[in-house]
Every structure is written in C-alpha cells, then in structure tokens.
A and B are shown apart, each in its own frame.
Chain A
C-alpha cells in the first residue's frame, strides 16, 4: 500500500487568529509583528500581494503601510496558542497518527485511512474552518518532505482549492510541478545549501530529486541523501507522535528601551526565569543548571559593547522558581558591568531531565522538596486560573520599564474572562 502522509498548515495563522475575533479585519491588509513589534511574522494575503516579505523590520514598511493602510498588530501568543490547540485537537480526529510539527502545522498519517484522500482532506479543511474559523491547506504525498511541497503547491496555486495530493498524480505531472519550484523551498535545505546547490546547477526541486546520490554526497552531509530519497517518494522520516520534551528552555527578549541599571536587568531576568520555570514544570521536567546572559545592541556601534553569559549549575535538579531565580541572579550579578546600555537579557535552562528520573541522593531533603512541589503546584494553578502573573516573585517588579513594546496587541479572547469578545444586541 502506498504511504500517504498529509501536512496540514494553517494559512497566515496569526493573522487568521486575529481575524476570527476582529472580523472587520477580513479583506484588509494585516500584519502581525514579532515580540517588541520588531519584524513581520505573519502577513495576510493582501500584504503578500503588495510584495512584503516575511521577517521585514516594521520600520522599513511604514511608508508602504501608510499608503495602503496596512494594519499592524502586536503578537498575542496567548490567543494563538489556544487556537492552535483547538486546531490540532480537531485534526487528531482524522488520524490516529499525528505529529504536531509547529504552532500551525501538523503531519497526519493517512496510509490505510479513507480511499479518497483528496475528499478526506477537503473535509478536514471544512471542519477546521467551521469549528475554529481557521483556513488551512493540505498537502499529501508519500514522504514528509514531499507532503511539505504538496502543501506549498496547494497554498500557492488556487487551482487546487487548498488540497494537493501528489500520490494521485502521474510521475510526469508531478515532475512538471517540481520543476517549477525553487530548490530553496525544500524542507531542510537552508539558504546557504540552496546557493551551493545552484552553483552545481541544481536549481529546481526536480533537479534535486534527480541528483545522483554520489553527486550530492561530495560536499553535502548525509542529510541530503535522505532528502533526495524523500523527494523520490521513499519515506525516511517517521512521524514523531509525541513531542519530545525540550532539552533546553530559552526565554530572552529585547528591551523596549535599553537599560544600564542592574535593578532593571534583575527584574527582567526574574520575569524570564519565572516563565521558563513554568514551562519546565508543564513538561514535568527538572533542570540541572541555568544560564543568564546580557548584551548591548550590536546596531548601536557608537556605544561601548558588552556581552556575557554565565552558567550556574544547581546543587540538584530542580523546578523551583525561587531556586532558579536565585541562581540566575547570581549569574547576572557576576557578568553585569556598569556603564553599558544593555538591550537584551535572557536565561536558558539546561540539563533538563524528566521529573520522574530525579536522581536519589543520600541527603535528599524530602520534606523540603515536597513543600517546594506543593508551592509550585499551587502557584501554577492560581496563575492558570486567575491569569498569568497573578502571583509572582516581588523581584519581578510591578512597573517593568524594560517590558516589551506591544503597542497594538489584541485581547486574550479565549484565556481571560475580562477580555472576551463583545457581542452587540443591536446591529
């Protein structure tokens, strides 16, 4: 039986989430900006049609934005995460084999499911659209790499109405399509590799598909052999059905305005550590160390530059926000230097292990640990039910002068009682 793997990808996901609760944005050019309102991370079709590329800094677009009334929204991850969970949960009804690949993409195993895959995929699109209001496209093929490309075709080419099944095509039809796709679109081919491939006259996806393994092997890693095999319909990448627990948790951000005060940096580091520790506990893990880092802005060459980081190992693996903050602050204070305008700070949790694999030590402080676990559980429950940040360490501060710039952030329509969408009773 031929392998059939679907890749379901949400169209302009962040913009689509915003439009769900602000229907007035439908049909208008909309972008969502990254943290700190820096770069474009999601574009509506209208904006794509204006030629705006992904990741363009917003300040470069101000002229075009004024001319075309482009609406720029700050990113609202509380909303996107909830909508994503709903979409993924709906999609899981369509196959027992699901790999949630990113916030807006999911692989589904369709081998042996349904006879008419195209019809089945149309049903998925309709279901997700009706139930959650998010438009999606579906690509189907015999390998993950090909299904990514099928999705690309479904998205770019209105003729396919959002569903493209490579398995249903003849070899000639498929090759005709692949000949028109740039080699840089292939999953796993980075920009630099794409340039090197073009130097060797491998320009289209079809060129790469036909590239002899030995041709590719010289100068490219073994990963490329696998990509070529996948392009030839030989599935080499299995579906990861359970998202592996993260091996590192990073929380870092650029400041709205640079700061040289240690007190500001301390607040930021405590806030980031708090977020990271919440994530750590959510995936039921412990970490063995925490790294704090700070840096000045590399774009302000006139300023004195400084960047540094320090890893603080913990006496034993932990998920206690208080302990992690103490360690992170110790690191921060060791690397901080007066007289620099710091533009970014961050922390990274390392040495992550499952909580169930906690090593036993001779002097295990069991009562102390149980107390800490109970406190963290309570903290998480209150913050989950009453809104994130309801209970936090005082060191996080209340003013957050360093906080992100989020000038035009929408409401958290699905996660905060005070921010629900409002429905008028009269038109």
Chain B
C-alpha cells in the first residue's frame, strides 16, 4: 500500500505506519476468537482445577429430538389421555419418521381432525384407545378417513 489518502481535516490526521493500512481482516470471527483467547490467557492466579473437565452443557433439544427434520410440536386439548400421563395443555413431541408400532401413542387424523391416542394392532385391525374409562376404543373401519400423522415420543408436562 503506497498511496495513502490524507485528503482529510488536519486535526484528524494521525501518523500511521503503512503496514497497519495494509492489514486486512480476512475473518472477523477469527479475530474475535483470538481476542477472546488473549483475554483468557492473562494469568491472574491459580488456574481453575476444573479447566480440564469443561464439557458441553446438556441440551434438551438433543435429548428429546432424535430426527430434527421430522419432529414437530403439538398442543394437547382435553382430558381423556390422563391415564397415560397426557394432560390438557401439555406439549407433545411428535416424530413423523418412526413406524407406528403396537402400543405407541400416536397423533392420528380422523375425518380431518388431529387426535392423540394409543394405537393397537389387533385381529380386528387398527384400534385407537383413549386412556379414560368414559371413552370406548375406536376400531378403524377400512372405509374410514384415517391416517397416522406421527408417533408421540415425549410429552412435556408443566408441574
């Protein structure tokens, strides 16, 4: 860098070494990291005995979501799944990619509406069971408009 534009108010001119001008910042993040390292490297006492044990903090996302593309959240409305610990207002974590095995809790679509139920594969065919004595089991008829939307993996309940 040879040409330095000093076409500026006199008061703002400063003596600048040309090497400073030719310095580029190829990577701001890298610079920030270097700065952070420098900050940390100032030894001001006994090193922390925990330094060798620093690990990543636990993440609920990682624990609860196995397949991030196919996992969706849904809100529960109603009381008829209480027997399986699913209450009104709870948050369901639903994975669409999993096979709906016998005994799974699933989100199903019946006649265009979402419903959460336990799925059973029986000799009568697929059966949806609520977890409440007042609601009878639903045997899915072949002509019925029915699909399994996803498999409930977790229920998040506020205590």
A-side residues, CB < 8 A to B, are: 22-26, 86-87, 89-90, 130-133, 355-356, 358, 360, 362-363, 413-414, 417, 420-427
Question: Is A423's CB under 8 angstroms from B16's CB?
Answer: no
B12 CB contacts on chain A under 8 angstroms: 362-363
Tell whether, in the assembled complex, residue A423 and residue B75 are in contact, meaning their CB atoms are under 8 Å apart: yes
Of the stretches B25-33, B41-49, B54-62, B119-127, the one at the interface is B25-33
A425 with B97, Cβ < 8 A, contacts A131-B69, A360-B25, A420-B74 known: no
A sample of 15 more A-B contacts (CB under 8 A), given A420-B73, A421-B75, A422-B77, is: A23-B112, A23-B147, A86-B70, A89-B68, A89-B69, A90-B70, A131-B70, A133-B149, A356-B28, A362-B21, A417-B73, A420-B74, A423-B75, A425-B76, A425-B117
Q: Are B72 and A362 in contact (CB under 8 A)?
A: no
A–B complex contacts, Cβ < 8 Å, 7 sampled: A24-B111, A131-B96, A131-B97, A358-B28, A362-B12, A424-B113, A424-B116
Instruction: Judge whether A362 and B16 touch: CB under 8 Å.
Output: yes
Q: Which residue of B lies closest to A420 (CB)?
A: B75
| B108 → chain A closest CB, angstroms | 9
Nearest-CB distance from B122 to chain A (Å)? Answer: 18
Q: How many A-B residue pairs have CB under 8 A?
A: 108
Q: Which B17-43 residues have a C-beta within 8 angstroms of A?
A: 21, 23-29
> Across the interface, which residues of A come within 8 angstroms of B80, CB to CB?
425-426
Chain B residues with CB under 8 A of A414: 72-73
Residues of A within 8 A of B101 (CB): none
B69 and A90 contact, CB distance less than 8 A: yes
A132 contacts B96, CB within 8 Å? yes
Minimum C-beta distance from B16 to chain A (A): 7
Bound form: Cα–Cα A363–B26 in Å:
19
- Smallest CB-CB separation from A363: which chain B residue? B12
B92 CB → nearest A CB, Å: 6
Question: Which of chain A's residues have a CB closer than 8 A to the CB of B10?
Answer: none
- In the docked arrangement, what's the CA distance between A24 and B145, Å? 10
Q: Which residue of B lies closest to A373 (CB)?
A: B28
In whole angstroms, how far apart are the Cα atoms of A395 and B28 in the complex?
31
Distance between B20 CB and nearest chain A CB, rounded to angstroms: 9
Q: Which of B25, B72, B116, B132 contacts A413 (CB 8 A)?
A: B72
Query: B114 — nearest CB in chain A belongs to which residue?
Result: A423
With A23-B149, A362-B16 already in contact, the answer to whether A424 and B114 are too (CB < 8 A) is: yes
Q: In the bound complex, how far is the Cα of B147 from the Cα of A133, in angstroms?
A: 12
Evaluate whether A355 and B78 lie within 8 angstroms (CB atoms) in the complex, with A363-B12, A423-B92, A425-B115 already known: no
8 Å CB contact of B8 from A90, A356, A360, A362: A362
How big is chain B's contact interface, by range?
Answer: 35 or more
Q: Which residues of B contact A86 (CB under 8 A)?
A: 69-70
Contacts of A23 in B (CB 8 A): 109, 112-114, 147, 149
Contact code string B117-147 (vs A, CB < 8 Å = 1, else 0): 1000000000010101001001000000001
One of B69, B77, B130, B147 near A423 (C-beta < 8 A) = B77
Residues of B close to A24: CB separation below 8 A? 111-113
Task: Give CA–CA (A26, B109) in the complex, Å.
Answer: 11
CA distance A24 to B24 in the complex (A): 58
A-B CB proximity, top 6 nearest: A24-B112, A425-B78, A131-B70, A425-B80, A23-B109, A86-B69
Question: How long is the Cα–Cα vector from A24 to B113 in the complex, in angstroms?
Answer: 7
Contacts of A426 in B (CB 8 A): 78, 80, 115, 130, 135
User: Which residue of chain A is the closest to B30 with respect to CB atoms?
Assistant: A356
Q: A420 to B24: give the CA distance in the assembly, Å.
A: 47
The answer for the CA separation of A130 and B69 in the assembled complex, in Å, is 11
Decide: A423 and B115 in contact? CB cutoff 8 A: yes
In the complex, whether B110 has a CB less than 8 A from a CB of chain A is yes
Partner of B74, one of A87, A358, A362, A423: A423
CB closest residue in chain B, given A355: B28
Question: Of the candidates B16, B25, B96, which one forms a contact with A133 in the assembled complex, judged by CB atoms under 8 Å apart?
Answer: B96
Residues of A within 8 A of B69 (CB): 86-87, 89-90, 131-132
Let me know if B102 is at the binding interface, CB within 8 A: no
Residues of B within 8 A of A26 (CB): 112
Asked if B157 is an interface residue, CB under 8 A from chain A, the answer is no
